[in-house]
Structure 1
């Protein structure tokens, strides 16, 4: 075979001269700086993503001239309908569910009622325009619809003081003092956005919120582990370990004493531990997603067992903390690690194919753009992350708030949940990209590609009693997405669908008014219903799902015992990491 080998000197092609690494790096860095600058004007959205989506829509619209022409006829019919409404010949169009822009009675008076009807008819036409051409990529159609909705929300007459009867009446009645107060609110919010320290005397850490007595019993570079002091003479033999999401401060589950899940669990006779994640800075830019499992959950399990002995643990995860806990439980099952007694997942997704409106921000192009934004910072800031969530509900969280705060000069009465929401966290760049790409974009966990220690893990390997909670109005972890756990594991699964949203549905203490939930057990290898059939065939119950969860935990637990000793204290709860800003 030697005669088939071509000598190197016989190759006549001129080798390419590689571009100097310094030049390549410099060009990439300049592009990153450009993208970071662009993000200031695009709310973190990649302009390429939106442009390609609108190009896709426009190309299909041009190639469907007859459908596009129908839009012109529809516009004429809408104008005719508005004319008939003006003459009083037809009933008024109702506001969509959840739309409070025109709820004030003044909007039903002439001439404002005609403005409302014009807006609603125009929005109907725009929706038909977005949905019109067939053949558009579904993701692109969602992006076009989302951006169209943002534009319509922005130009709504309710946002302009001279069109809004509430604002004009308040300005007249207060001689403009509402606008002066609103300008002061605006200046304070701008200072907060620039990172100026904000003190809320109503809800101080360790006093009014995060005040359940306990001790920090373990600490490493990524998290603190808090153990709470017992309040009952006996406790369940198996402790509860709570894993919150790293995108939030843990005390969403330890707010005021009246609505603290942690305090309530302790009062039910549970030994409770919770992970308090560190608020990362730029020095943690290369922290990997798996480190949150290995240095977070697994180190916490080790510490809990050192304190409580070899007893098994009721593991509970909230939001992405629940997703991470599922990964850890699957890896433990693969390795034959039997230290968990049960798995409770609160508003936590394991399959991300129906991850809701957040998918608007998760495309390959968008993630590249986001990576460039984080490159110089090392983290994603709370303001950048919070901006995306706000745009998902821009009417409620952006425009309606702006009217109240800046035009009417009012402020909402402070609440513990509002104080917690303002206490944001950063996200390490590497970890953030790994979970967005691996979980949201590629759905690696559900499809068996997610690796721990170089080996894939499978949710189906978990052989534990499971309790999963979805919330009806969740725009972060839609309940139908949470429900998909039924399809990934055939074990015994109790599923709860509770009223409320991603936060208020979970923080749903007994005695809270207007709370309800549905609950059903799917037995091991039992028949799995579709989500809509499940809801139709599962009757609602009044009250808090916490009580049903407590009964479920009791059913998975052994006899009660004397409370275990507290671990060696490093600090009083709520610890130091939760105070980092």
Structure 2
């Protein structure tokens, strides 16, 4: 920790010091350090400037409009008129009354929005190539967000007022929070001391009944006297950890499944270290999903099982199903894909990080490190919503000295995982860059040339309408690849909140029963909107595929696969920090 003797005691110097230290949080915000965002911004704008020399008309007009707007702003300030736009009023960063009622802060705010509009307008009209245009607009917005007056103590009236009311204690507390986060190397988004795995998060009772280098397999304890004969295997993402599906009792998808009489098994992926750098996509299929499938069949004494997957876990499951189809293996009776891309034509907001030049740089770094480090992954996802997932915490934690409230999803979000170099480089190049998974025989996995069109089992797709990681129209493409009986459901909200939507809350809504075969837009136009959670809709779908009811097993595992340790197990407890 930094030596406290370096902290100035003079109030003005202390505020300036806190401003400087708060901006250093960009080093945690950008995987390449704080300079990377501004470097990308500068590079993109240099390209824009060079192109604009060919026809400076747009620049001249933009600057003239900006100067006129600034003149109008000064006039309104002198006459006491308000020039606040609706989009300004709706911005939560400027909700405090001082931003509207105090002339100085009102001018700072209005001037910031005028400058933001100028930058965004010039960026959006740049007419660069698609990739460069996206990067220009993205990094321009990152720069704009970072430079908001709310992010600096001296230009944030709420920060200054709180400092006065607490005699400076809020600034002192904020500095303590900042130094603590420097030690962790990341921004605290929740009270992490409020959660302990197995005690108040990931609490559904179960037992680890198998483990190898790839995974631990958890079998959950029945909560009903009778259970279905055909078990359910959950394949979660290997980016972040499985307990997003088992947060707390009231919002646990795992517990919901168990309470419906399903015999539930779940893969807990290893959080790899550099020793596992050579684990590849084939390992995740053969030693991961296929091994879990055969183990579940043995323990449950069932010839077939149902599978549920999420995000990259679904991409791995789709690869597995295609391999099984080539091998004439019919062990999986049905598959559920939650917000899963199989066609990567539209990679969502992540496309800003994904072009051949950037991917080449990333894969070279991953090869050197042996891993794609979890913090780099977290940074990329947080950058997509920087005001919500970065700057709001900079202001609240460091400038206001507040401690973040406990929130289970944000605790999970902060618990990052690494990806092995071999697996990640295959994934990013063959899925996102090459989009090979959709090509017949485009990939050879586990020795088999695969084709997703060979998958002919019943499939349930759940996508979410505001998903910025796996856009729903992109996930919808999976319905046009797989050839079985397809059910597509579209939930409200985004990538996480749209999936973790417990029935007991009776919140949100979903669309179902649209007409397949004529594209995503037609499906939505013809679909029915239903209130509540998609969980109950899925339960009705899976129930006829789950077999008959039998007495629930008294003990986990069998004579070959005996209890190793209680859930959630050792693998999920390994943190990257």
- Taking structure 1 as the reference length, what is the TM-score of the superposition? 0.86
Paired residue for 1:227, among 219, 235, 246?
219
SS of residue in 1 equivalent to 2:229: coil
Separation (CA, whole Å) in 1 of partners of 2:191 and 2:63 = 54
Separation (CA, whole Å) in 2 of partners of 1:97 and 1:328 = 50
SS of residue in 1 equivalent to 2:335: strand
Report deviation, 1:54.
Answer: 4.5
Question: Within the alignment, does 1:364 sit opposite 2:356 as a pair?
Answer: yes
Number of the residue aligned with 1:432: 424
Report deviation, 1:302.
Answer: 0.6
Separation (CA, whole Å) in 2 of partners of 1:43 and 1:382 = 20
Number of the residue aligned with 1:166: 158
Paired residue for 1:557, among 536, 546, 556?
546
Number of the residue aligned with 1:580: 574
Number of the residue aligned with 1:527: 517
Separation (CA, whole Å) in 2 of partners of 1:247 and 1:573 = 20
SS of residue in 1 equivalent to 2:93: coil
From the superposition, tell whether residues 46 and 464 of structure 1 become closer, same or farther in structure 2 (CA, over 3 Å): farther
| Residue deviations 1:450-485 (CA, integer Å, cap 9, x gap) | 221344322222112111112233222222222222
Report deviation, 1:251.
Answer: 0.9
Report deviation, 1:55.
Answer: 5.2
SS of residue in 1 equivalent to 2:197: coil
Separation (CA, whole Å) in 2 of partners of 1:106 and 1:152 = 21
Question: Within the alignment, does 1:132 sit opposite 2:125 as a pair?
Answer: yes
Question: Within the alignment, does 1:417 sit opposite 2:406 as a pair?
Answer: no
- Taking structure 2 as the reference length, what is the TM-score of the superposition? 0.87
* 1:63-462 map, 5 Å: 63-83=54-74, 85-86=76-77, 87=79, 92-95=84-87, 99-111=91-103, 112-134=105-127, 136-193=128-185, 200-448=192-440, 449-462=442-455
Separation (CA, whole Å) in 1 of partners of 2:181 and 2:501 = 29
**What is the root-mean-square deviation in Å for CA atoms of aligned residues?**
2.6
Separation (CA, whole Å) in 1 of partners of 2:33 and 2:524 = 42
Report deviation, 1:213.
Answer: 1.3
Paired residue for 2:556, among 526, 550, 566?
566
Separation (CA, whole Å) in 2 of partners of 1:41 and 1:355 = 25
Number of the residue aligned with 2:49: 58
Number of the residue aligned with 1:485: 478
**Preserved contact between residue 457 and residue 483 of structure 2 (Cα < 8 Å):** no
Work out the number of aligned pairs and report it.
537
**Preserved contact between residue 64 and residue 133 of structure 1 (Cα < 8 Å):** no
Separation (CA, whole Å) in 1 of partners of 2:350 and 2:267 = 26
From the superposition, tell whether residues 303 and 126 of structure 1 become closer, same or farther in structure 2 (CA, over 3 Å): same
| Residue deviations 1:75-95 (CA, integer Å, cap 9, x gap) | 234334434654466752122
Most deviating of 540-549 and 68-77: 68-77
Structure showing greater Rg: 1
Separation (CA, whole Å) in 1 of partners of 2:379 and 2:335 = 32
SS of residue in 1 equivalent to 2:173: helix
SS of residue in 2 equivalent to 1:128: helix
Unaligned runs of 5+ in 1: 1-37
Report deviation, 1:249.
Answer: 1.2
Separation (CA, whole Å) in 2 of partners of 1:549 and 1:53 = 46
Separation (CA, whole Å) in 2 of partners of 1:462 and 1:395 = 41
| Residue deviations 1:189-233 (CA, integer Å, cap 9, x gap) | 11112899x994432111111121111111111101111111112
